Structure 1
Amino acid sequence: MNDPFKRLLLVEDNLADAGVLRTALSEVASTDFAFRLVHVEKLSEALQLLRDNSFDLILLDLSLPDAWGMEAVIRVKEAAATLPIVVVTDLDDEEVAIDAMRNGAQDYWVKGQINRSMLVRAIRYAIERKKADVQLQQQRERQAILHQVNVAVTSTLDLQSVIEILLNEIARLFPDFATTVRFLNQETGFFVPFACRNLDGEAWRTTAMRAGGGLANIVAETRKPLAIVDVQNDPRSRNADFFRAHGLISYLGIPLFVEDELIGVIAFYTRHPRDFTAEEVEFFSTLGGQAAMAIHNSRLYERIKAARDALEKALEVKSVLVGVMVHELKTPIQVIMGNAELLAEGICGELKPDQKERVRTIENGADELLRLIDSTLNMVRLERGKMALVATEVCVSDLLAELKAEFQSAFQRKGIELEVQLPPPESIMKTDRVKLKEIFRNLLENARKFTHSGKVTVEFASRDNDRVEFVVRDTGVGIKDDLLPKVFELFYQVDASPEEPAGAGLGLNIVKRLVDALSGEINVNSQLGQGTTFRVTLAREITSSSSD
């Protein structure tokens, strides 16, 4: 493939040497290698030309009137970092040659030793090597930029913050760019202006809303990036007056996709003519992909947060309503229990045996209903985080003795032995006594309900200086292995005997929540037909906490 026309800049103060090089280049010129040589004698003149013109290669002497040695190489590299430099000098010094290459030169020619037959190849190689170096450096820089942007935009899930960070990063990395972000309204199909940088935001939003989608619509329809060198005079531009007023010349629009769904367009504008290369379009498309994913995650987070807030509000209303209802139920239940007690004591007249039995049934039913109400109230308090911890010193022996006295008659009526092994009086815990007692009330009631013969045993042991263990063991019906993980679930019930009233499935769930609140854990193991064992491990000491 033929090389294009090459522009070479020769910086040489010796006119004779410059003439020799021009002659050598003319002799090797052909249709395969066409060139134009521009000659200057000073580095300052070369730097001025580099500012105003483009060249393919610079031939640089190291002994100039205004620059000497490596200074000349360094200054040229600073002025034109992507321009290949070939040093042409009288110095046949390997160390100087190496130093020149380290400072950015692509080749080192010694005057009088230039091989004319290799001249074209040397120039081509210098240009290609520099091009490869520049491309590699650009790739590294772009990868670093993508990494920086990705880290920045994933540092938060707030949509406004994500866009703000994205635009700030683009402005920092490309300070000459103006950037806009527009989101697609899925219901109307319009592109809504959301944010911009390096532009008059109010003027941009007003113009964007008045003119509609404009170039963004073309990006959306083609579903591809759109690059325009002169956006002010392009017939597709609807906002040419706005572009002229704000000095915007070139345009690159990138569609924002998430899983093939278009969510918006990010646009980049330059204030100098820029023909975006394929590599640049690919880079900005990748950047747009990162932005789209960050925006999608932010929107998803906002939807989840809104749904969570709505659910929390609904649960709060439900908890308040349930709490009020069950609290109001306690009064008529207590009235029923009070009157039943008066009847049982004969205050209203002596009752016959069968009448007494029916009154006792009323009392038992009312008592069961009152326990259900108390359990429901406890559940509501736990769900709402309204149950404070009041840590006091608790004598474990006294607490277990109270529980035995409270449950002894109920166990005797059912013909079950209740064995409570009391620890020494010095067994002390610092915990919430009320909640600790509630835990074992529920466990003992659960054991009584599912045990038809045999006994229920309560044991206590110190595991170490910081933990204690309670064990409630029964000889009841047991639980199937596949059902064990479910016993602490809310409203879950294992079938009891026909003589026992069905519960609401609250007791063991309340136990689990209370154990967690007391910095403990509870485990259960069981054998069907032989019984069940609950092990409760608790912190020996906890601190008080106030309710929310």
Structure 2
Amino acid sequence: MSALEKAFLNTKNVIVFSFLFGILSWLIDALLDYVFFSERSFADSLIFGLSTHEMYMRLSMFFIILLFGSIISFFVHQMQEMNSAIVNEKNKSHKIMNILPTIILFLDTEMNVSCVNRKILELTGYEEVRISGNKWINLLFPEEFRAEVLSYWDKFVSGEIGSVAGLESPIICSDGSIRYVLWNAVSFIDDNERFAGVTISGEDITDRKIAEKALLMDESRLEALVELNQYSDSTIEEILDFSLEKAVNLTESSVGYVGFVNETEETFSMYSWSEKSENGYGIKALNKNFSIKRDNLWGMIVTQRKPIISNTYPDDSPIKKGLPSGHVNIRNYLCIPISDSDNVVMIAGVGNKNGEYDSSDIRQITLLMEGTWKIIQRKESEEQIRSYAREVAENNKELESLDRMKDEFMANITHELKTPLIPIKGYSELLFEGHLGSLDDDQKKGIGVILQNADRLHKLIDSLLYMQNIRTGNIQYHLDSVDIVNLLDNVIDEMLIFKDRDVPELKKEYSPSLPFVCGNITYLEQVFSHILENALKFTSSDGLITVVASHENKNIRIIVRDTGIGISPDEMPHIFKRFYQVDGSLTRRYGGNGLGLYLCKSVVEAHGGSIRAFSEVGKGTEMHVLLPIIEE
């Protein structure tokens, strides 16, 4: 507003001007009377010579002018308040627009930008003067979106539509970067129901688009990993081809390759490379070895052991050395190593992305290729396991054949050994008892040695036969009522009758009126014969062997306690195993085939009982046998 406008539109000035104008009209009227209509002096024409009627007329005119000025002053004041309110509202609207997080543009009827807010200036980096007018379409929108924007404008002007919501498009910023905006627009009309312009709002959704893209890529990678796991029955070549194609897809690249590294031999075997074209993906198998040097790309990957990105890859780059002849031209690339036990085992790379590679691309391709390497390892392990399983199966067949041969041999040899042993033992007993003539003491002692060793051999053969029957499942127990006291006495008497050396003192401690047990007398005699034989074997002649039999609840407990050499704690867990001997050397002092306690355990458990051993080196051993009684 100019100084003149301010002066004339001020309400106080309007009243002053009206007052002055009234005085001026009085002077002019007096001057006209003096010149044209009166012979009076000017002073008389001005005030002193006026008639009552003239005075009334001039005063009326003066007050009319003053009243008119007051009215004008009132309207000027109202107009000033209205202008002030409009200016305030306009300023307020601008402030509100500038603090809004959305883009705001106002378009007039000619599609010119008449007003914008600060958000679009901050977002795009343009000055307001560049966006104003009709330059904004070509300035903000890529060429492929301009026609669509103009088509919406034509629909607004024609009244075909009144609003647009959710229109998504990219915009070009002053630095050439691309942002994504979600547009909404609504037209407005004037008092005459005519089109008056369009208000446009926009929301910057670039970060959301990036997040959506990253999420989509993550979903695609997960789908690729799921699909990859379904390739477990495929060949390694098919697995690598699939992974390579997915790597190119996930990183939006045009080419890719994958290969294996041998750090020891400093070689890189490029398995294959893939190139994207209009017809899809073309995968070419190379299977070609390249030298890993520090001055080429693969050498840098192995040395640094971390991904390498180059979004500018000129032809004269020194690390392009070593590329195959006729290799596709690379504009940019991403290369990653895959390590196993601190060794680089695979290298995968992609290139020629329409944009720049970033950390998201590294994550996508790394996770995919790590999954690929694990599947390859698993497949190789499975193949090794299958090979080992085939080898084990073949070995098992051979062992089964050998086991059958051994069983047949054991059955034959025990039968052949037992057949001549029967007459040896029978005639020896006849000689010892004097049925074939009287013997002197030395002869009787010699016959006793024969009988003792024949009995020992007989027990060894019975042990082998019993073990064989257990393995083949041919053993049968014919159970009777067994008086455990008589059984123990018979075993002790038979063992002592032919002894050719001094034996330790043997003490019996039987509880009175012991109930009977249900068992097979022959096998139970073998059990206690083996236990007492061990006690005699490992106890010196000045030692003590105690046989205890007592009634415990529904069982009879038989304890054979000796003061022999004892068993070490390391040996205790193994004494009931088949063929196990505490001293298994060829020069061992004590004989035996290592089957005694194994057979004892088998027989006792077959009778529903249990057997345990307690021992201390140098103090002796206790064997506890628990057998169930016959309940009345």
Query: How many Å separate the matches in 2 of 1:414 and 1:83?
Result: 103
Counterpart in 2 of 1:204? 284
Contact 1:411–1:417 (8 Å) recurs in 2: no
Q: Counterparts in 2 of 1:277-292, with a 5 A limit?
A: 277-292=358-373
Query: How many Å separate the matches in 1 of 2:366 and 2:522?
Result: 62
Q: Which moved more, 1:65-74 or 1:484-493?
A: 65-74
Aligned-pair CA distance for 1:174: 3.1
Contact 1:182–1:193 (8 Å) recurs in 2: yes
**1:184 corresponds to which of 258, 261, 277:** 261
Aligned-residue identity in percent: 9
Query: How many Å separate the matches in 1 of 2:282 and 2:488?
Result: 76
Aligned-pair CA distance for 1:308: 6.5
Aligned-pair CA distance for 1:362: 4.4
Is the aligned partner of 1:174 residue 2:249?
yes
User: Tell me, which stretches of 5 or more residues in structure 1 are unaligned?
Assistant: 1-8, 53-59, 93-109, 115-122, 382-386, 425-435, 462-469, 537-548
User: Tell me, which stretches of 5 or more residues in structure 2 are unaligned?
Assistant: 1-102, 171-177, 190-196, 433-442, 497-507, 536-544, 616-620
Contact 2:302–2:337 (8 Å) recurs in 1: yes
Deviations 1:171-221 (A, max 9, x none): 39937666654233466443345577888999732x341667785455334
**1:340 corresponds to which of 393, 411, 421:** 421
Counterpart in 2 of 1:19? 113
Cα separation, partners in 2 of 1:32 and 1:459, compared to 1, 3 Å: same
Which one scores higher on RCO, CA 8 angstroms, separation ≥ 6? 1
Cα separation, partners in 2 of 1:62 and 1:279, compared to 1, 3 Å: farther
Letter in 2 for 1:204: K
Query: How many Å separate the matches in 2 of 1:300 and 1:311?
Result: 16
Query: How many Å separate the matches in 2 of 1:535 and 1:74?
Result: 91
Is the aligned partner of 1:226 residue 2:294?
no
Q: Secondary structure in 2 aligned to 1:276?
A: coil
Aligned-pair CA distance for 1:85: 2.2
Residue-pair matches, total: 447
Letter in 2 for 1:337: K
Aligned-pair CA distance for 1:256: 0.9
Counterpart in 2 of 1:454? 547
Query: How many Å separate the matches in 2 of 1:376 and 1:288?
Result: 57
Aligned-pair CA distance for 1:224: 2.5
Structure 1 length normalisation: TM-score?
A: 0.55
Cα separation, partners in 2 of 1:203 and 1:144, compared to 1, 3 Å: closer
Cα separation, partners in 2 of 1:202 and 1:273, compared to 1, 3 Å: closer
Q: Counterparts in 2 of 1:55-454, with a 5 A limit?
A: 73=166, 76=169, 83-90=180-187, 127=204, 130-138=205-213, 140-141=215-216, 144=219, 160=235, 164=239, 167=242, 171=246, 174=249, 180-185=257-262, 188-192=265-269, 204-205=284-285, 207-209=286-288, 216-227=298-309, 235-236=320-321, 238-239=323-324, 241-243=326-328, 251-268=333-350, 273-296=354-377, 299=380, 317=398, 320-321=401-402, 324=405, 327-328=408-409, 331-332=412-413, 334-346=415-427, 353-370=444-461, 373=464, 398-399=478-479, 410=491, 413-414=494-495, 421-422=516-517, 447=531, 449=533, 452-454=545-547
Cα separation, partners in 2 of 1:479 and 1:28, compared to 1, 3 Å: closer
Cα separation, partners in 2 of 1:301 and 1:261, compared to 1, 3 Å: farther
Aligned-pair CA distance for 1:413: 2.3
Aligned-pair CA distance for 1:403: 13
Q: Secondary structure in 2 aligned to 1:342?
A: helix
Query: How many Å separate the matches in 2 of 1:17 and 1:319?
Result: 95
Query: How many Å separate the matches in 2 of 1:439 and 1:147?
Result: 67
Counterpart in 1 of 2:144? 49
Contact 2:491–2:529 (8 Å) recurs in 1: no
Contact 1:255–1:265 (8 Å) recurs in 2: yes
Question: What do you get for the CA RMSD once the two structures are aligned?
Answer: 6.6
Letter in 1 for 2:268: F
Query: How many Å separate the matches in 2 of 1:521 and 1:156?
Result: 54
Contact 2:167–2:182 (8 Å) recurs in 1: no
Cα separation, partners in 2 of 1:172 and 1:160, compared to 1, 3 Å: same
Aligned-pair CA distance for 1:262: 1.4
Contact 2:274–2:283 (8 Å) recurs in 1: no
Aligned-pair CA distance for 1:11: 11
Cα separation, partners in 2 of 1:400 and 1:293, compared to 1, 3 Å: farther
Query: How many Å separate the matches in 1 of 2:332 and 2:393?
Result: 50
If you compute each CA radius of gyration, which structure gives the higher value, 1 or 2? 2
Letter in 1 for 2:166: V
Query: How many Å separate the matches in 1 of 2:224 and 2:557?
Result: 58
